[in-house]
Structure 1
Amino acid sequence: MRVYPKPLEIGDEEGFSTGKDLFGKSNLASGMSHLVATVEDPLVIAFDGQWGSGKTTFLKMWAGELRKSGHPVIFFDAFENDYVEDAFAALAREIIELAEEKAPQKGKVIEDIRDKASQLGVLLLKGATKVGVKVAVRAATAGLASADDFKDLGEDISKEVEGAAEAYMNQLLDQPRKQKQIAEGFRKALAELPGLLAPPTEGEQQKPLIFIIDELDRCKPHFALALLERIKHFMSVPNVHFVLGVHLTQLQGSVKYAYGNNIDAAAYLQKFINITILNVETITNKDNTDLHKYANYLTGILNIRTDSESPISTSKETIIRILQYEQMSHRTLERVFTILSLAIGLTPQDRLQLGGIMGGLVMMKLLRPDLFRKAKQGLLSLQEAKEFLRFPPGEGYGVEDMGWEETWWTYCLSESPSKDLEEFGKSLRFRYSIRDRKDIIKYTANDVIDRLI
């Protein structure tokens, strides 16, 4: 029995043609490919979606399509690299590694861009406060520079610098010409790189280098913002485009963390981002949403029973309805199905498993632990359950006007059920030897949802 979905493995050149495009995003990818291939001016594109909405999977597939069409592509996980002290070094390392892999015969060109990147990286590092840099200089520069590159810095960098802002400004004033020359040298070398990596045939437009930066919103705030600043000031050259996998709302939080709550974070980010593409679903069929598709996928890979006795169908509808209302992500759905697969897998088939009840309790366990605790203690009220579960509106108040799920919750939790409800529950109580209808919620919470053996 599986309780966690296996991570979707996507090869470097798989693209969208291998049956892994669960949500039908290939048309969006084609549009983005046309955009980056058509525009020569440097672009920074934000692919904006909340955490767990499938951004990484989409961007990896899109990267595969770009590679198949001949574009040089870098896929960079910013979250995995935010231990690097200087953001420029982390970006430059990826560029140099791609150049070494794709064009090893162009040794002189690669050495030139490596040299320019090293010079600029050292210059940027000089202007910042560093404590014990000589001990960890290679980590700070992502391996671009060695300790020898800093031998001329003297005491300024071998110990903690007081008044970092003042020291940095002094450096800017002392060596503006040198800084400008080094930065321009790096930009020139970078601008020549797309032609080296993807030489155009006669009459063909130059294919740009696409640098995809994923998980930007999960980085340490100073690293995420430094990446944006380094891109704008040192890597904005023709035929080099950056695509950011990011939840902009979270990144705005990083801006406020760094610069204070009074800053207009959205306006600040507009200085760095040219185009925003929203990773949102356009729902045409409310019963076939991305959440439905992903729920069906999870049911398969987790081997959850789907026979006539399995509660998965009604559990799924309850779960999806609440997730849609709360605007939760696919990642939340994974957590829900982990709990649900354990509950179904560990509970004998001859025991009571009411899908509508189970789905609601799983969502309480994740989103409202206070209500789930009440359910385990037998203290949950019908009003509390209805407010959380948000049943679809009916036309009346009788059993015939309520859906199957609402009928069961009303039967289990109402203070004085109607004759219709009592009749409705007779067969269940007889089949499972339930003495008190109010025990159903308590039993399901304790002996199904939280069952361990």
Structure 2
Amino acid sequence: MGVIFLIEIEEVMKLAIEHQAKRVSNESEYLFGRGELAQNLTNIFINTSGGFVLAIDASWGEGKTSFIHQLIRNLECTHNLIPIYYDAFANDFASDTFLSIGATIAIEVEKNFEAKGKSLTTQKQIEHLKSVTKSTAVELVKLGANLGLKALTAGVIQSSDLEKLAGKAFQSATFGTLELDLNEKFKAYQDAKSNIESYILALESVCESGEKVVFFIDELDRCRPNFAVEVLEKVKHLFPAKNIIFVVSYNKAQLSKIISSVYGVEPEDSLKYLEKFIHIEAKLPSIDSTFQSYKVLFESFMSEFEIAVSLGDHEFSRLEEMFVSLCHTNCLAMNSREIERAFSYISFCSAALPESKRAELFEYFLPAAMIKVKNNKLFNQVSSGEFNSLPNDSTTKWMYDFFKRYYSQSLKNKASNIYFVQGFKDACEIVSMFKFPTDEEKKI
């Protein structure tokens, strides 16, 4: 018995789906053969002492965030590992990266031990870690760092402390705009160095039973350029604790451009600079064309977007096969971000139509939306519904082959080598009504 996908038409369709963190479970599958990498990374986290930075490199839209959240979910069930997620893009409003990262570690470690029923000794050590985080942040502010926000510190530093610190900083502390004699500068440097060392010891002492923190830094290539560089520098210089492993998720090509813009160096020099902060790098396996992976992806998005259309076994299987064909490298070579965006189009277009028209055009929305997301120029060429069986551009030959295979009954011959599909034309007209703000962004 095949899949029967049946949703009541009265249900409300989703135009966007939940964040990846809420979509994973212990039963979720790693797509595109990435389970082996996940297991290898888990073994590394278990079998090493920590104190290093590992990078996961992948291009735009390849599913870095989805992979990380699935890995975190699995690590939560692993003895003595404390996985923590940090979204650099969501935190780049802050001016102080130490407060941002340090407070996140302190709060998340405390949550982990509370869930496990921490001992009185551990509780005291966590409070000490918070205290040292605060004092270290104060000394770094004296060295010229701008003040962070109370919300950023997750309560580690209260607003009253920040106000007092701000007053002192603006009166006599920071180097950039205020006067300090050489002795004061030297003392501030020594105090900061001493506090950093105390912070590392406090962080190591918290995990008295051999626990290790695996701190995932995501969206580094999307955040404010200066913030991205500061995160890397703080990770390298402030967090060499033996019980913490940093995992940085990035698009290496994009991040190297960010470094180039911040420091005004050539791309090859920015790559060398980046290598100073990373001990080892893992490449996220590319999206493959295996039927099973795309099958899971198709069923997942159809379900999560709650697209209100009734499909029997045969219709669902046909759409699934069409989807896999379009995703293949011989056709559109879609990545997971592009696929999700295409389903957003499908959901918008389906919701815009009455039930009868929706059922009639649904099978055409799939190729129309996927083509528009991947190649808007190609979409404009074929949105008229006409296809040339002998195109001048051999790279679009697959278009005619695709429509001949899946729409043979709808394919009308208009000339010797010109064919027309009315349903596809109608679907393209609906799809053309909508445009995502990021449709024109450069994909690196």
Q: Answer yes or no: is 1:445 the counterpart of 2:428.
A: yes
CA contact (8 A) 2:390 2:397 kept: no
| 1:119-153 deviations in Å (ceiling 9; x for gaps) | 221122222264xx5xx763576654312345543
Identical residues among aligned pairs (%): 21
Q: Answer yes or no: is 1:222 the counterpart of 2:237.
A: no
CA 27–351 in structure 1, closer or farther in 2 if over 3 Å, else same: closer
CA contact (8 A) 2:256 2:274 kept: yes
Unaligned 5+ residue runs, structure 1?
200-205, 395-400, 426-436
CA 2–121 in structure 1, closer or farther in 2 if over 3 Å, else same: same
In structure 2, what is the Cα distance between the partners aligned to 1:321 and 1:176?
57
In structure 1, what is the Cα distance between the partners aligned to 2:367 and 2:345?
12
What is the correspondence of 1:242-257 to structure 2 with a 5 Å cutoff? 242-257=246-261
CA 36–385 in structure 1, closer or farther in 2 if over 3 Å, else same: farther
What is the correspondence of 1:153-302 to structure 2 with a 5 Å cutoff? 153=169, 155-156=171-172, 161-162=176-177, 173=186, 175-195=188-208, 199=209, 206-263=210-267, 264-281=269-286, 283=288, 286-288=289-291, 290-301=293-304, 302=306
Secondary structure at 2:226 match in 1: helix
In structure 1, what is the Cα distance between the partners aligned to 2:321 and 2:103?
51
Alignment length (residue pairs)? 405
State the partner residue of 1:97: 107
In structure 2, what is the Cα distance between the partners aligned to 1:282 and 1:331?
11
State the partner residue of 2:356: 348
In structure 2, what is the Cα distance between the partners aligned to 1:391 and 1:112?
64
State the partner residue of 1:76: 86
Higher relative contact order (CA 8 A, sep 6+): 2
The one-letter code of the counterpart of 2:203 is: L
CA 64–358 in structure 1, closer or farther in 2 if over 3 Å, else same: closer
State the partner residue of 1:126: 142
CA 168–35 in structure 1, closer or farther in 2 if over 3 Å, else same: farther
How far does residue 68 in structure 1 lie from its aligned partner after superposition? 2.0
Q: Answer yes or no: is 1:365 the counterpart of 2:372.
A: yes
In structure 1, what is the Cα distance between the partners aligned to 2:322 and 2:432?
12
In structure 2, what is the Cα distance between the partners aligned to 1:378 and 1:30?
47
In structure 1, what is the Cα distance between the partners aligned to 2:156 and 2:359?
62
Residue number among 132, 135, 159 corresponding to 1:116 in the alignment: 132
Unaligned 5+ residue runs, structure 2?
1-11, 435-444
In structure 1, what is the Cα distance between the partners aligned to 2:358 and 2:15?
25
CA 8–219 in structure 1, closer or farther in 2 if over 3 Å, else same: closer
| 1:50-99 deviations in Å (ceiling 9; x for gaps) | 34333333322322332322222322222222222111101111222134
State the partner residue of 1:42: 51
How far does residue 230 in structure 1 lie from its aligned partner after superposition? 0.9
CA contact (8 A) 1:361 1:449 kept: no
CA contact (8 A) 2:142 2:173 kept: yes
How far does residue 236 in structure 1 lie from its aligned partner after superposition? 0.6
Q: Answer yes or no: is 1:6 the counterpart of 2:17.
A: yes
| 1:8-36 deviations in Å (ceiling 9; x for gaps) | 67579x864x2454556444322212111
In structure 1, what is the Cα distance between the partners aligned to 2:349 and 2:52?
48
The one-letter code of the counterpart of 2:214 is: I
| 1:187-217 deviations in Å (ceiling 9; x for gaps) | 221222222xxx1xxxxxx332222222222
CA contact (8 A) 2:326 2:332 kept: no
CA contact (8 A) 2:410 2:422 kept: no
How far does residue 327 in structure 1 lie from its aligned partner after superposition? 4.9
CA 314–153 in structure 1, closer or farther in 2 if over 3 Å, else same: closer
CA 383–3 in structure 1, closer or farther in 2 if over 3 Å, else same: farther
CA 349–194 in structure 1, closer or farther in 2 if over 3 Å, else same: same
CA contact (8 A) 2:76 2:82 kept: yes
In structure 1, what is the Cα distance between the partners aligned to 2:385 and 2:33?
44
CA contact (8 A) 1:340 1:449 kept: no
How far does residue 235 in structure 1 lie from its aligned partner after superposition? 0.7
CA contact (8 A) 1:281 1:290 kept: no
CA contact (8 A) 2:83 2:214 kept: yes
Normalised by the size of structure 1, how large is the TM-score? 0.73
CA 291–438 in structure 1, closer or farther in 2 if over 3 Å, else same: closer
Secondary structure at 1:31 match in 2: helix
CA 441–27 in structure 1, closer or farther in 2 if over 3 Å, else same: closer
